[in-house]
Amino acid sequence: MNWINEAVFYNIYPLGFCGAPRNNDGVLTYRLDKIYEWIEHFKELGVNAIVFNPVFESSRHGYDTIDYYKIDCRLGDNESFKKICDALHQNGIRVLLDGVFNHVGRDFFAFKDIQQNGMSSIYCNWFHNIRFDRQSPKGDNFSYEGWAGHYDLVKLNLQNDVVCNHLLDAVKFWIDEFDIDGLRLDAADCVDLGFFKKLRQTCKQRKEDFWLYGEITNGDYNRWANEQTLDSVTNYEVYKALYSCHNDRNYFEFAHSLDREFGQYGIYKNLFLYNFVDNHDVNRIASNLNDESLLKNAYTLMFTMPGAPSIYYGSEFGIHGTRTQRSDYDLRPCINLGEIDNPNIELLDHIKKLSKIKHSLDALKYGSYKNEVIQLEHLCYSMKSENQTVFILLNQSSEVRRIGFNTGFNGVLTDVLNDNKTYNCNGYIEIDISPKSSMILVANDGSFKIDFDKKADVVINKIKEKTVHTEELLEEEITLGKYRHFKGNEYEVIGFAKDSETTQKVVIYKALYGDKETWVRPYEMFKEIITRDGKKIRRFTKID
């Protein structure tokens, strides 16, 4: 399955990415059509596969499915999504969906039938541990098993062939209707392995190169990824090392994790894992790192280690986001091209380079991993394929470090990450590496180099367009209705008042989501036009 070795993924949580209402309002809105204006950005990033987290009809966040056969109305409809998939495919970008098969939402038709018909419902055996001798925490006249104690997520009974067939028929529909190329399997460690065997057979019969990978946070990956079940899993073991080895100033953690997985005796040598530095469930990498100047090093590690690299939407700009005990929404913001606050353009350019290098070097796509030099603050490892050897050097200290290592090679090492600078090599070599930087050295005869396109990124152009377009913004009077704050949160203006001390006019408004708290802000501040990243924008924009 060569396409996966060539893949650079981009992961999108659609409901957040599109700024959809947090609760399904039942209003058909083609929000996901915004993906068209991102296609050029994907291509400039070298992205050739997109993973969409849930896109099917749900009550709230996508993982509480209502209908496996219907695109969520907050994103569009089946026809609009089909056109999106067609456009991505025409641009050389494969499409993978999030398969949420462990549980459904309380508005799923079979669960609603039990609520209505009780023990006479024909769907009682569709779910785990339905009992009519007690009530559920939600007040139903029966109890049931919720996934991980979340009773908004009703656990399906995958031992029931009728349930399995309902899900497998949905996957057939997705392949036939949208021509998808693979699936992410949510909560894969909770899903019956027998179902995965049926799923694999179903998908491979329709598309031989269909790729299945499971969300696995711990355990032996071989249990889920093998010739009978899934093709791969999420590499959570190294995800942790990618940031903590920098926070702790300890490259031993990363090096030993990689050696355990992919070294000479690595337990996952035969797996091509899904690698990431962040996703919709964990803190953004920019928030996890104590020193953001090491962001580029973290991405260098991810792009050059064995497996498929994945970029979580927005993180290529270095945006922040932290998970709290109460909410994941900060991890899943609405993002529009040209409207990112303080985009890290240097990081964006670095990732674009890494992506092109990944596509250009067989050793990074098909090679084997070996540690060469390991120190707390600097590291050298190699990736070797049949016809190519690449050395990756990293320095996370604030000083220049000299790294010496045996190459087993006479010729030239070309640093394709840093202007194709060359180093003559006769076996052993010592190289100075700049502070907080990385190098990717390709062994060759002196003729090898990788050239990068110097044109401006589509994002930079969008920022310029927005700046020009908004120069003439005029202040508008505030009226009752819904507004979106420039950081993305939505509110409803419910009234006006005067400050009893200053007589200053104030706006009374409440949050539309979350705790729906009520707020007060001076009228003049509410309506003002502010400057962010060189462009003028409204603090609050009317949305209805």
User: What CATH code is carried by the domain that includes residue 112?
Assistant: 3.90.400.10
pLDDT band at 544 (very low <50, low <70, confident <90, very high): low
Q: Is the pLDDT of residue 329 over 60?
A: yes
Structure-model confidence comparison of residues 11 and 535, the more confident one: 11
Of all residues in the chain, the percent with pLDDT exceeding 70 is 96
Q: How many domains does the chain have?
A: 3
Distance from C-alpha of 537 to C-alpha of 7, rounded to nearest angstrom? 37
Give me the CATH number covering residue 229: 3.20.20.80
pLDDT of residue 230: 98
Among 176-185, 427-436, 481-490, name the one with the lowest average pLDDT. 481-490
Tokens of 99: 């398969």
Please indicate, yes or no, whether residues 107 and 118 belong to a single structural domain of this protein: yes
Please indicate, yes or no, whether residues 107 and 97 belong to a single structural domain of this protein: no
Is residue 110 helix, strand or coil?
helix
Q: What are the two backbone dihedrals, phi and then psi, of residue 215, each rounded to the nearest 5 degrees? A: -80, 105
Contacts of residue 464, Cβ cutoff 8 Å, sequence gap at least 6: none
Tell me whether residue 344 is in a domain. no
Please indicate, yes or no, whether residues 15 and 129 belong to a single structural domain of this protein: no
pLDDT digits (tens, 9 = 90+) for 43-100: 999 999 999 999 999 999 999 999 999 999 999 999 999 999 999 999 999 999 999 9
Tell me the sheet residues that pair with 401: 433
Structure-model confidence comparison of residues 544 and 184, the more confident one: 184
Q: Is the pLDDT of residue 332 over 80?
A: yes
Give the helix/strand (H/E) hosting 49.
strand 49-52
Please indicate, yes or no, whether residues 207 and 83 belong to a single structural domain of this protein: yes
Q: Is the pLDDT of residue 474 over 80?
A: no
Distance from C-alpha of 63 to C-alpha of 99, rounded to nearest angstrom? 9
pLDDT of residue 454: 72
Q: Residue range 526-542: average pLDDT?
A: 79
Tell me whether residue 419 is in a domain. no
Please indicate, yes or no, whether residues 84 and 191 belong to a single structural domain of this protein: yes
Tell me whether residue 460 is in a domain. no
Domain boundary among 89, 123, 157: 157
Tell me whether residue 247 is in a domain. yes
Beta strands in 180-271 (DSSP E): 182-185, 211-214, 232-233
Q: Is the pLDDT of residue 524 over 60?
A: yes
Give me the CATH number covering residue 509: 2.30.30.320
Tokens of 264: 């000479």
Contacts of residue 434, Cβ cutoff 8 Å, sequence gap at least 6: 395, 400
Q: Is the pLDDT of residue 447 over 90?
A: yes
Please indicate, yes or no, whether residues 143 and 48 belong to a single structural domain of this protein: no
Q: Residue range 94-113: average pLDDT?
A: 98
Packed helices 193-206 and 161-178: angle between N→C axes, nearest 10 degrees: 30
Burial 465-490 (b: 16+ CB within 10 A, else e): ebbeeeeeeeeeebeeeebbeeeebb
Please indicate, yes or no, whether residues 178 and 281 belong to a single structural domain of this protein: yes
Of all residues in the chain, the percent with pLDDT exceeding 90 is 85
pLDDT band at 469 (very low <50, low <70, confident <90, very high): very low
User: What is the domain extent for residue 502?
Assistant: 470-542
Alpha-helical regions (H) of 179-235: 193-206
Domain boundary among 300, 320, 338: 338
Whether 277 contacts 300, CB under 8 Å: no
pLDDT of residue 532: 63
pLDDT band at 517 (very low <50, low <70, confident <90, very high): confident
Please indicate, yes or no, whether residues 88 and 107 belong to a single structural domain of this protein: no
pLDDT of residue 470: 43
Please indicate, yes or no, whether residues 260 and 113 belong to a single structural domain of this protein: no
Average pLDDT, the chain: 94
Cα–Cα separations (whole angstroms), residue 495 to 64, 69, 506: 35, 42, 9
pLDDT digits (tens, 9 = 90+) for 130-163: 999 999 999 999 999 999 989 999 999 999 999 9
Tokens of 355: 């992506």
pLDDT band at 543 (very low <50, low <70, confident <90, very high): confident
Which residue is associated with the tokens 């050097």? 393
Q: Is the pLDDT of residue 471 over 50?
A: no
Tokens of 476: 């508008």
Tell me whether residue 314 is in a domain. yes
Q: How many CB atoms lie within 10 A of CB 219?
A: 12
Among 181-190, 217-226, 505-514, name the one with the lowest average pLDDT. 505-514
Whether 128 contacts 155, CB under 8 Å: yes
Structure-model confidence comparison of residues 193 and 467, the more confident one: 193
Cα–Cα separations (whole angstroms), residue 156 to 190, 363, 469: 11, 43, 51
Q: What are the two backbone dihedrals, phi and then psi, of residue 273, each rounded to the nearest 5 degrees? A: -85, 160
Tokens of 117: 């018909």
Residue 441 identity: L
pLDDT band at 237 (very low <50, low <70, confident <90, very high): very high
Distance from C-alpha of 507 to C-alpha of 525, rounded to nearest angstrom? 9
Q: Residue range 330-335: average pLDDT?
A: 94
pLDDT of residue 328: 87
pTM: 0.86
pLDDT digits (tens, 9 = 90+) for 353-393: 999 999 999 999 999 999 999 999 999 999 999 999 999 99
Q: Which of 178, 181, 171 is nearest to 79 (CA)?
A: 178
Please indicate, yes or no, whether residues 128 and 252 belong to a single structural domain of this protein: no
Cα–Cα separations (whole angstroms), residue 53 to 251, 313, 345: 32, 11, 26
Packed helices 345-360 and 458-469: angle between N→C axes, nearest 10 degrees: 150
Please indicate, yes or no, whether residues 229 and 326 belong to a single structural domain of this protein: yes
Please indicate, yes or no, whether residues 169 and 296 belong to a single structural domain of this protein: yes
Tell me the sheet residues that pair with 403: 431
